[in-house]
Chains A and B, each alone.
Chain A
Amino acid sequence: MLYSTGSDAIFNHINPFTPLLTTNYMENISKQIYQEASDEILIQQYKAGSQDAFDVLYQRHLPGVYKRVRCVIPENDVEDVTQDVFIAALKSLSSFRGDSQFRTWLRTLTNHKVAEFYRKRTRKQEPLLAPLSEASGRMEGATSQVLEERIFIQNALKKLPENYREIILLRFAEDMQFNEIAELTHQNLEASKSLFRRAIAALRNHLDE
């Protein structure tokens, strides 16, 4: 099942008079309920056949995924790679067992899709970073200097070891606080800050090259 329509079991469960209500009214109410539901409940509802549940998951997590992808992928390909992430999520959500948080699972999926993007580019022998002229077409208001700097930094980020790149993206792209990063990576706060400092130092070395 890929993005199929189906019954909204959560709503049916709550309201025993479902057949008496109009479909639109039901849809609006179920969407409202979904907005407040946790990721776990939404995943269960999606598995039960609710497309609305996935829509809410998408709207909730798109900004984070998009921002992370935007930090490491050339501007022209950001939306395609973001779509790849959510299509992959749709395909494998039925096998998601909930051992980790959905956000963590989605982050891993995003990293895989970013790596796949660069693998494909390398195979096709395309330039790893889009030309400045291409990128500027997509980004209104950004000066060429800013774009050049962004491309330069993306390139440097790509060269970093995975744990260094990850901690920079968690702080800058996902706006996670250091204590949250420490919790996520099962480290103490001091170790996380130390890793961050080393990551920034490595990035600086690449930028100075």
Chain B
Amino acid sequence: MDQSGKNSNLIKDSNRLADFTDQVLNGKLEKVESNVDGELLGLEETILRLKSSIPSTPLDQAAIKQMQVRLKTRIQREAREVQPPFWKKWIEIVSRPQLGMAFAVALVLVVLVIFSPSLSTAGPAPLTGTALAPSSTKNILIVSIAAGVMLIFFWMKRPK
């Protein structure tokens, strides 16, 4: 048989197998057609095996609802189990208005303490005869700022 004849036979077989599959899946055929032989017969047998082994009973509404409930339960359980990463927690804390404000105030105060020239020991020598030496002034200021920040923090965390 020449190439074109072979091709036309394959096309014919493909069409017949497709028609056979349609009829089997529509429930119109339950066994191989009697007028086929050779390879097509084997392919039709495979179609019948597939049809009988692939579950055909559709999900009913009750089963769908039950599965939906189980899906939601699993989503909720997984959401509880998954811990957010540290940076996410940190952003969450800072993005709360009260805590964010406290953090910002503390940050500004720390920057002031570090960079304020009057609090710095570097530079020109301190005036003699002042009541307190600059280093002790600084220490008192730092302690009071820390106490202030802690007070703000405890005030925020107070039971409401």
Contacts and interface: CB of A to CB of B under 8 A. Distances in A.
B89 interface: no
A58 interface: yes
Interface residues of A, number: 39
B52 A71 contact: no
**B-side interface mostly:** helix
Interface string A46-70: 0000000001001100110011001
Contact of A207 (B46, B59, B71, B74): B46
B108 interface: no
A162 B58 CA distance: 25
B49 A153 contact: yes
Contacts of B125: none
A86 interface: yes
A206 B55 CA distance: 20
A62 B71 CA distance: 11
Interface in B1-30: 10-11, 13-15, 17-18, 21-22, 25
Nearest to B13: A197
Interface string B48-82: 01111111001100001001101110110011000
A178 interface: yes
A66 B54 contact: no
A168 interface: yes
Contact of B17 (A83, A86, A193): A193
Given A175-B25, A196-B21, A197-B10, A83 B71 contact: yes
Nearest to B72: A3
A200 B43 contact: yes
A188 B78 CA distance: 45
B43 A197 contact: yes
A79 B64 CA distance: 11
A193 B51 contact: no
B59 A63 contact: yes
B43 A63 contact: no
Interface of B: 10-11, 13-15, 17-18, 21-22, 25, 39, 42-43, 45-47, 49-55, 58-59, 64, 67-68, 70-72, 74-75, 78-79
